[in-house]
Structure 1
Amino acid sequence: MFHRIGRVVVRHPVWTIVAWIFVAAGIVATAPSLPSNSDQSSFLPKSYESIQAADLQQSAFPSAFTPSAIVLYQRSDGGKLTPDDLKDAARITGELGAKKIDQVQQVVPGPPSKDGRYVLGLVSMDTKNAGQPTQLDAAKTLRSDAKELTKGTQLDAKLGGSAAQGLDQQDSSSRANALTFVGTFAIILITLLIIFRSPILAVLPLVVLIALVFSTANALIADASKLFGLQANSSTSALLIVVLLGVGTDYYLFLMFRYRERLRAGDEPKVAMVNAVGRVGEAIASAAGAVMISFLALLLSTLGFLKQMGPALAITVAVTLLAALTLFPAICSLIPPRALFWPSKAWLKEPSNARFAALGRGVQRRPALFAVVSGVVMIALALGTLGFKATFDLASGSMPKTQESMVVQTEMQNAYSAGAAEPTSVLVTSTGDGRLDTAALPAYERKLSAVQGVADVQPAAISKDGRTANVTVTLKYGSATDQAISAVGDVRDVAHADAPPGTKALVGGMSSIYKDINAAVNHDYRTVFPLAALLIMIILGLLLRSVVAPWYLMASVGLGFGATLGATVLIFQKGQGHSGLMFMLPVIMYLFVVAIGTDYNILMISRLREEAREGRDPREAASRAVRHAGPTVAAAGFILAATFATLMLAGNSLLTEMGFAVSFGIVVAAFVMAMFFTPSLTALIGHAAWWPGHQDRKSTPDVETVDARELEPSAKN
C-alpha cells in the first residue's frame, strides 16, 4: 500500500502540493474560532458531588456567590488601614459595582484582615461563563479601573481570584507559546543543519509544518471542538506546537534517512523516494497510529482538560502523518538530490557509522549484558515513583508567583485564614416536601466546626423557600493543598453522617472540586492506561504479525515510563523540594512516553525484521538494525527530546515538570529502550519473537524495481 502511495505522490508531485494548499485554505477559511476555558470546575462531569453542590447553591441562593474576583486593598506604605482608608476602599468598591462592567453582577465590600492591613472587595460574575474569554476581559477591565480609582488615595488595589488567575494564565500562556515556538524552531533548525549540512533540508520541514500543517490542524481542531462541544485550555496550545514540530520532524527524519540510503544504494531519485515511502511508510503509520490511539484514549477520561486535549493532539498527529507520507515526498521529489542536499556531498556515499556499528556488534556479541544493564538502570530509576505526590494548585503551577493574582493569593493566605479566599460550602437540603428544621442546624454547625482543619463555621443561610441551608466552612489551609483536600474529605464524612433527619448534605467549593479531581485521576489510571496499552499492543501485533514481540515491547515501554516518573520525582520533589508534581503529569507522561517510546521501538524492530528477511540470523539482524536505524533513532530522539525541553522555558512549574518528564522519557525511549533493550531482547529470544507469523523468514527484498521513466507524469501505463 505504501509503495502505491509513494508512486502516486512521486508521479504527480505538483498536483499533490496544489491539493494540499487548496484543501488547507478551505479548511482554515471555514473553521470557527477556537473556544477556550480556564474554569477548573469544568474539568468534572456533573456526577461529582462538588459540581452537584455548585448547581444546588446557584439555584437555592442566586444572590449568594463565591467571588469570581477579589479586589485586595492595602496602604501604599504597607501600614495599617486608617478609617479614611476604609472609607476610600468602600467608595471604590461601590464605584466598581456602579460601572456595570460586562459579566460583573455585583461588587460588595468584604471583611478587613485581623492585622488591619487589608480589606476586600468581592466580585460576583455570571457563573455560566466561568473561565470564558468574556470573563477574562471583565477581569482586565476591573483591574484597570480599580487602579485608576485608587489615584489620589493612600491605597493600592490588586485583583485576584479565579477570573484574575484566568487572565494571568492567558498572558503567561502567550509568553510560554512564544518562547516554546522560538526555542523549538531554533533547536530543530540547528540540529537538521548539523545532520544534513543542507539549508534546504533544514528549513523545509519547518516551513511546511508551520505554513500548512499547523494551520490545517488548528482549523480541524476548531471544527471538532464545535462539533463535539469541546473547550480548549491555555496549556494545550504550547503542547500542540511541540507535538507538531517534534513529531513532524521525527517522521521527516525517518523518511529522509531512508531516501538518502536508497540513493546511496544506486536507486534513481524518484525510485528512491518511492522505495523510501514504501519501506518506512508502514513504520511511520504504525508509530503515528500508536500515538493517536494513546491520545484518543483520553476521551475516556473523566477530566475535561484531558478529554479536550486528547482529540486535539490526535488530529495534529494525523495531519502530520498525512504530510509525511504525501507532502514531504512530493516536495523532495521535485528537487534534484544535488540541490536538495547542497552543499553537502555526504549523501553520495555510505558512511562508516563506526559508533553505531560498534554498538551493533556489542549487541550481537553480548545481548544478555546489554538487556540486563539497560533493564537494571530503568528499574533503579523507577523506584523513585514510590515517593510520588500530586498537587492540584493549577493556578500557581501554570504561571510565575510574581503575577498579580498570585501575589493576591499569597497575601490573602498570610493575612486571612489560608482558606478564606475559597471557602467550603456545606449545603443541607430537604429530601421531602417540607421545609428544613432550622432548630437542628446549630448542633450540626458545631459538629462541622469540630472537624480537624476547620478554622471557622458561619451560621447557616436559609434559602427563600426554606428548603436549603448553606453553611460556610473556612479551612485552615489553602484550597489546593494536600491538607485542605484531606480536611474537606473529613468535612464530607461529618456532613453526610450527621445531616439532620429528612435532609441530605452536599459539600462544594474549590477544595471539594480538587478532591473530586483526585478521584477522577485515579479512575483514569485504572481505565485510560490499560486501554491505551492494549490498543498499542494490537497495533504492534498487526504490524509484526506476532503475539510475542508486542509483550516485551510494551514491557520495555512500561519500564521507560516508570524510570521517567521516578527521575521526575527525584529531581523536583527530592531535589527542588516541590510539595508534589502536577496531578495530571503521570497521565500525560504515560501517553507521551508510551506512544512516542513505541515510535522508536517500531522503527528499530521494523528495521530488525527487514534485516532478518534478508537471511540474517537474529543476532546479526539486531546488529545491522542498530547500525542502520540507530542514527535515525538517535537524531529523532534528540530533536524530539530537545523540543519538549523547550517547555521548561515557559517559566511555570506545570510546563517545566512536563517538559523535563517528557524529554527525559524520550531520551530513555530512544537511547536505552530502542537502541539497546529492544534489539538485545529480540536477539536473545530469536525466531520465537516473531511467532506465529514468522516475519523474520527470508523473503524478496521489499524494493521497487520499476523504470524511473514510469514515474514521470507524462508516462503511459
Structure 2
Amino acid sequence: MSHTSEGARARRSVPRWLRVLIPVALILAWLAVGAAGGSAFGEVNDVAENDQAQFLPASADATRVSELQTEFRGDDVIPALIVFERDGGVTDADHEAIGDIIDHVATIDGVVDNGVSPAIDSEDGEAVEIVVSIDAQGERNETVAELRGYLADHTPEGLSAAVTGPAGLSADIVDAFSGLDGLLLAVALGVVLVILIIVYRSPLLPLIVLGTSMMALTAAIFVVVQLAKADVLVLSGQTQGILMILVIGAATDYSLLYVSRYREALREHERKWDATWTALRGSTPAILASGGTVIAGLLCLLFSELNSNKALGPVAAIGIVFALIAALTLLPALLLWAGRVAFWPIRPVYGSEHKHAVDASAKGLWPAAARLVSRRPRTVWVACALVLAAASVGLVGLKADGVSQSEFVTGYSEAREGQAVLDDHFPGGSGTPAVIVAPEDRLDEVAKTVLDTDGVDSLAVVTADAASGTAQVTADGIKPAFGKNGPVTAEPTVIDGKIMLEATLDGPGDSVEAEDTVRELRSALPDSGSDAVLIGGVAATAIDTNDAATHDRNLIIPLVLVVILVILMLLLRSILAPVLLVLTVVLSFAAALGVSSLVFNGLFQFPGADPSVPMFGFVFLVALGIDYNIFLMTRVREESVKHGTREGITRGLVATGGVITSAGIVLAATFAALGVLPILFLAQISFIVAFGVLLDTIIVRSLLVPALSYDIGRAIWWPSRLSRPLN
C-alpha cells in the first residue's frame, strides 16, 4: 500500500472536526501545564537538600550517629567555625573586638542558646577560633550569611576573619547552586537555539522545538517539586541541574527525530494531517524505544545504597517521561498547525525527491560516509575500534576514590580559605570532631584506644555538667570542667546505656588524613554486639558516602548493561546486533573516560573525583549513547526489510546521518552547559558526557556500527528471519 493511500485512509477514518480539535486540545492542555508548572521553578531551591549526610543510607554508622547527636545535645545543630588571623600575632585590641563579636553572634537568629564558645587562641598567638552551634533545622545558610556580613563590617583592620566548618561549607555549596535555574537554563537554551538555527536555517522551527522542550521541563519540575514537598523523594542541587539538562537535551533529540520524519512526509503527502500521521507512525517506535531505554537505565539507580543516587533515578526518569510525551503530542500538534511554514524559507515541497539510495551520483557527507563503509567496512571498523581502545588507556590514571568536601566547590570558597587558616594554626579537625557513641561501661577502654591512635589530637565527652557541653578526657579519666558557677566534676551524659565522645583529629574533618584515622579507629573498636562502637562526624560521613558510592558503581553499571541489552534484543528481534551495539557503547564510554582522566589530571588539575562520577557518566553515556544506535538500527531494519541488509545499512546511515549528528551536538552542548556552575561533580560529569556523546555520534554511530554491521551482513540480525537468505 502506498503512502498516499495510507494517508487517504487516515483522513477518512478521522472526521475533519476531530482533526482540528485534537491538535488544538493538545496545545491548550500543554499551555495549561505550563501555566500551572511555571511557579514550581521558584520553589526548586526551597525544597533542595545539599547536606551530604541527608543522602547516606539509614544503616550507615554516620547516619545513626547523626540521629543520636540530637538526643545527646538536645538540639539538632551544625557547627560553624569562625577563625581570625593576624600576621605577627593577635593584639589585645583584637581580643576586645572579638569579645564584642562573640556577644553579638550569640544574638543572631539561628544560633542556638549557649551555642557560642569562648575565644580559643592558637599556640602561636596568630589566630583565634570560635565554635558557633547553628540550628540545623532552621535557615542555617541565612544565618551563615548574616555572620559573614557582620564580620565584614566589624572585624578590625588587618585582622582577617572567615566562617568555615560544616555550616560554612554548606552555605558555600548553596551559593554555588544559587541562580542555577536561571543561569544554567539560559546558557543551555541559548546554545541549543543557536545550533537549531544553524541546522534548520529557519526562524520558526527552532522556537517550536525549544518550546516543546521547555514545556516538558516545566511539567517535570512541577511533578518533582510536589513529590519533594511530600517527602517522596529527595532533591539536591546537582540533581536539579542534571534534570534540567537531561530534559532539554532529550526532548530536543526526540523532537529532531520527529521533525526529520515530518519533513520527509511533507514531501510525500500534500495534506498536513497525512504527513503528521505518517511521521508519527515512522518516528514513534524509535522515540519510545529510545526513551524507554533511558528510563530503564535511570531506574536502575533505585538499587543504589546512596540516597542521592537513588533519588536521581526517579527524578531523571520523570523528566524523560515528559520529554517523550511532549515530543509525541505537543510537537506534532504545533507542526500540524504550522505545516510547511515551520520550515520557511526552505520549505519541503510536495512531490520533491528525498532519496536515501547511495550511488556514485549522490553527493554530501553522509552518502560519502556510506560509500566508505560499503567499500572498506573491515578497515573502517577495525581502525575505529583501535582509536577508541587507545583512548581508553587513560583510564589507568583515573582518580575516582573521593575528594574532600571542601573541594566540592571549584570557585572561591570562604569555608575552604578558612579551613586553610585553621590547618596552619590549630589541629586540622578542630570544630569537626569524629563523634563516637560507645557503651557507658566501656569509657576507659574506648578512651585509651582512641587516644593511642595516630592522628587523634584530643578527646572529650559530652556532658550536661559543663557549660561548653563537653569535658576533656585523658588517659587518667575525665578532667574537671567549667560549669555555670565554676569548676565541676563532670559526669558523662548517658542515654540508653550509651555515652558520646568527640575526638579532635590532626587532619581537617573532610581530609583523606582524617578519613584514614577514622578507618583505623573503626578497625580498632568493636563494631557489633552489645559492645559495638559507632563512629560518625564529617570524616565518617565522607567514608560512608564513598563506600556506598563504590558499591553502587560496582552494582549499577552491570545492571544497566543487562537491562539495556534485553531491551535492544526485544526491539531489534536479534541477539547478535544488540550484543555488538552494547559492546561498541561500552568501548566508547571507556574511551571517553580515558580522555576525561587525562584532561582532569593534566589540563584542569582537578584534585580527584567522587566514586559516583564514573557511574553517572556510564549511566548517561550508555543510556543516551544507545539512543543514537536505536535511531540508526531501527531505520536500518526498516530499510533492510525492503532492500536487504547491506543496502539497508547504507540507506539507514544516509537517512539518519544528519538528524542523529544534530541530536548529538545538541545533547553534548546541553551537558557542557553544566560546566558554568562552580561544582566539581557537575564539571566532571558535563565533560565526560559531552565528549562521550560526540564520540558516540561522530565515530561509533557514523562509522564503527555501520561498518561492523556491513562486514557481518545479514547475520547481524541472527536469529531473526532477516538473518536467513531469501528463498
TM-score by length of 1: 0.87
- Please say if 1:101 is aligned against 2:90: no
Unaligned runs of 5+ in 1: 431-435, 700-717
Deviations 1:350-404 (A, max 9, x none): 4855211111111122222222112122222222222222254474444344232
Contact 2:405 2:510 in 1 (8 A): no
Give the corresponding residue for 2:521. Answer: 491
1:228-267 equivalence runs, <5 A: 228-266=231-269
Match for residue 148 of structure 2? 143
Equivalent residue number for residue 464 of structure 1: 493
What SS is found at the alignment partner of 2:163? strand
State whether structure 2 residue 347 is matched by structure 1 residue 335.
Answer: no
How far is the alpha carbon of 1:294 from its aligned partner? 1.6
Q: What residue in structure 1 maps to residue 66 of structure 2?
A: 54
Native 8 Å contact 2:664 2:697 kept in 1: yes
| Contact residue 550 and residue 612 of structure 2 kept, 8 A | no
The residue type paired with residue 342 of structure 2 is: L
The answer (yes or no) to whether the contact 2:37–2:222 under 8 Å persists in 1 is: yes
Distance of aligned partners of 1:314 and 1:397 in 2 relative to their CA distance in 1, 3 Å threshold: farther
Distance change in 2, residues 1:5/1:194 (3 Å): farther
Q: Which of 641, 648, 654 is the matching residue for 2:675? A: 648
Q: Verify the 8 A CA contact 1:66 1:422 in the aligned structure 2.
A: no
Confirm or deny: 8 A CA contact 2:267 2:348 kept in the other structure.
no
Q: CA deviation at 1:585?
A: 0.9
1:661 CA displacement: 0.7
Q: Distance in 2 between matches of 1:446 and 1:162?
A: 24
Give 1:535 deviation, angstroms. 1.8
Q: Which moved more, 1:437-446 or 1:250-259?
A: 437-446
1:280 aligns with 2:308: no
- Give how far 1:590 is off: 0.9
Query: What does residue 53 of structure 2 align with?
Result: 41
C-alpha distance after superposition, 1:231-250 (max 9, x if no partner): 21112222222112211111
Give the deviation of 1:146 after TM superposition.
3.8
2:430 equivalent to 1:420: yes
Are the equivalent residues in 2 in contact too, given 1:74–1:157 (CA < 8 A)?
yes
- Preserved contact between residue 403 and residue 609 of structure 2 (Cα < 8 Å): no
Aligned to 1:361: 371
- Identify unmatched segments of 5+ residues in structure 2: 1-5, 356-361, 461-471, 479-490
CA contact (8 A) 2:109 2:143 kept: no
Corresponding residue number in structure 1 for 2:200: 196
Residues 553 and 611 of structure 2 are in contact (CA less than 8 Å); yes or no, is this contact kept in structure 1? no
Secondary structure of the residue that 2:526 maps to in structure 1? helix
Instruction: Give the match's secondary structure for 2:327.
Output: helix
Once residues 232 and 114 of structure 2 are traced to their aligned partners in structure 1, the CA distance between those partners, rounded to angstroms, is: 26
CA distance, structure 2, for counterparts of residue 384 and residue 153 of structure 1: 50
1:71 aligned onto 2:82? yes
Mapping 1:554-703, distance limit 5 Å: 554-616=582-644, 618-694=645-721
**TM-superposed deviation, 1:637:** 0.6
- Partner residue, 2:32: 22
The residue number in structure 2 matching 1:307 is 310
Distance in 2 of aligned mates of 1:205 and 1:160: 45
Whether 1:507 aligns to 2:535 is yes
Q: Which residue of 1 aligns with 2:3?
A: none
Q: Deviations over 1:624-655 (max 9, x none)?
A: 22111111111111111112112222234322
Structure 1 residues 108 and 653: alpha-carbon distance in aligned structure 2, compared to 1, 3 A threshold: same
Distance 2:27 2:558 in 1: 40
1:478 to 496, 500, 508: 508
d(CA) in 2 for partners of 1:676 and 1:550? 17
CA distance in 2, matches of 1:697, 1:257: 31
Indicate conservation of the 8 Å contact 1:250/1:636, yes or no.
yes
SS at match of 2:629: helix
Query: 2:449·2:524 contact (CA, 8 Å) conserved in 1?
Result: no
What is the TM-score with the length of structure 2 in the denominator? 0.86
2:719 match: secondary structure: coil
- Paired with 1:639 and 1:100, the residues of 2 have a C-alpha distance of 46
**In the alignment, what sits opposite 2:465?**
none
Classify 1:538/1:161 alpha carbon distance in 2 versus 1 (closer, same or farther; 3 Å). same
Distance 1:59 1:572 in 2: 43
Within the candidate set 120, 125, 145, 1:116 is matched to 125
Aligned mates of 2:571, 2:444 — CA distance in 1: 70
CA distance in 2, matches of 1:387, 1:442: 40
Correspondence for 1:344 among 340, 343, 346: 346
Q: CA deviation at 1:552?
A: 1.4
For residue 164 of structure 2, what is the aligned residue in structure 1? 160
One-letter amino acid of the counterpart of residue 496, structure 1: P
Residues 1:187 and 2:191 aligned together: yes
Counterparts of 2:555 and 2:650 in 1: how far apart (Å)? 38
Query: What do the CA deviations read for 1:491-532 (whole angstroms, capped 9, x no partner)?
Result: 2112338x9x97332221111111111211122123222222
> In the alignment, is residue 270 of structure 1 matched against residue 281 of structure 2?
no
SS in 2 for 1:582: coil
CA 1:380–1:474: 2 relative to 1, 3 Å: farther
The answer to whether the 8 A contact 1:32-1:222 is kept is no
- Verify the 8 A CA contact 1:353 1:627 in the aligned structure 2: no
Q: Secondary structure at the match of 1:335?
A: helix
Q: After superposition, give the CA deviation of every residue in 1:18-68 in whole Å (9 maximum; x if it has no partner).
A: 2222355456679994411111111112211222233334334547x9752
Structure 2: how far apart are the matches of 1:533 and 1:439? 52
Q: CA deviation at 1:255?
A: 0.8
How far has the Cα of 1:697 moved from its partner?
8.4
Aligned partner of 2:213 among 206, 209, 226:
209
Which moves more between the two structures, 53-62 or 310-319? 53-62
Q: CA deviation at 1:184?
A: 1.6
Q: Could you tell me which residue of structure 2 aligns to residue 292 of structure 1?
A: 295
Q: 1:104 to 1:282 in 2, by over 3 A?
A: farther
Q: Aligned partners of 1:491, 1:220: CA distance in 2, in Å?
A: 44
**Letter of the 2:536 counterpart:** G
Please tell me the residue identity of whatever aligns with 1:670: T
1:580 to partner: Cα distance: 1.2
Partner AA of 2:320 in structure 1: V
One-letter identity of the residue aligned with 2:493: K
Moved more, 547-556 or 469-478: 469-478
- Give secondary structure in 2 for the equivalent of 1:503: coil
Following TM superposition, by how much is the alpha carbon of 1:422 offset from its aligned partner in structure 2, in angstroms?
Answer: 2.1
- Residue 384 (structure 1) aligned with residue 390 (structure 2): no
Distance 1:72 1:390 in 2: 32
CA distance in 2, matches of 1:103, 1:612: 72
- Structure 1 pair 397–353 and aligned structure 2 pair: CA distance change class (3 A): farther
Aligned length: 677
Deviation at 1:217, TM superposition (A): 1.0
Residues 235, 31 of structure 1: CA spacing in aligned structure 2 closer, same or farther, 3 A cutoff? closer
Shift of 1:207: 2.6
Q: Which moved more, 1:658-667 or 1:26-35?
A: 26-35
- Partner residue in 2 for 1:708: none
Residue 663 of structure 1 and its aligned partner are, at CA, apart by 0.2
- In percent, how many aligned pairs have the same letter? 28
Of 384-393 and 437-446, the range deviating more from structure 2: 437-446
> What is the aligned counterpart of 1:375 among 382, 385, 399?
385
